[in-house]
Amino acid sequence: MKKTLVLGLVVVGALYSHLPVFSQDEATKPNYKNGEAWLFTVKEGGGIGSSTNLLNGTYELSMVDGKLKTAIVNGSQKDDLDPRPPLLLSLLTFAPNLNFPLTVGKQWSRDYKGTYVGGNKPIARKITYEVKGIEQITAPAGTFRAFKLESDDRSSPRDYFTTTYWYSPETRSIVKSLFDGSGGGQNKALQREIELIKFTPVK
């Protein structure tokens, strides 16, 4: 009887010891609070398809009255972006792209139509995502335990680009992303890096 009780306690202990591991290996859909703010820096380079004049800089995203507010920051000056550039908003929030909950190995895709910079002809594209693993990633805002995702966005075998993202449950945001537009052998394609500079939570 005593051996059975001890064995039972060991089994229960083993089950409970795994609970934090399971919770840490899944990122649930985030909830945001009024007053929270994220400061990002965007650096672009390359040539083809570049939108450098629009995106290079520092941006603040904040929650105000339940809505996302976007501003460009230059030193102590902060100017609201209205209307907010859809591309910039998508790059910084990633809300339309992530499919929660995130777990290692998860994959999903979506079809959409886009246009090239300077063009107006809609082009059918497909973007696929995969959660590759969990890593420690360092950005100006600090070092975070993050889910590493990779995306492949293409319209043909020679027209595609890739992005690597690191999503942190702690900041409930992307803390770093690297865009590579050189798919298909373009030597001067757009390169973009986004990093989280500061996260201001609400206590």
Distance CA 148, CA 21 (A): 17
Percent of the chain scoring above 90 in pLDDT: 56
Written out in words, the top-level CATH class of the domain with range 29-200 is: mainly beta
Q: Which DSSP string corresponds to 76-100?
A: TEEEE-SSPPHHHHHHHH-TTT--S
pLDDT of residue 52: 46
Q: Classify residue 139 as exposed, middle or buried by CB count within 10 Å of its CB (0-12, 13-18, 19+).
A: buried
Q: Which DSSP string corresponds to 134-194?
A: EEEEEETTEEEEEEEEEEEEEEETTEEEEEEEEEETTTTEEEEEEEE--TTT-TTB-EEEE
Model pTM score: 0.82
Distance CA 169, CA 101 (A): 11
pLDDT at residue 160 is higher than 50: yes
Confidence of residue 9 (pLDDT cuts 50, 70, 90): very low
Can you tell me the mean pLDDT for 103-131? Answer: 89
Q: Which of 2-6, 128-132, 175-179 is predicted with the least confidence, judged by mean pLDDT?
A: 2-6
More confident position, 115 or 194: 194
C-alpha pair distances (Å), 43 with each of 12, 57, 87, 185: 51, 7, 14, 22
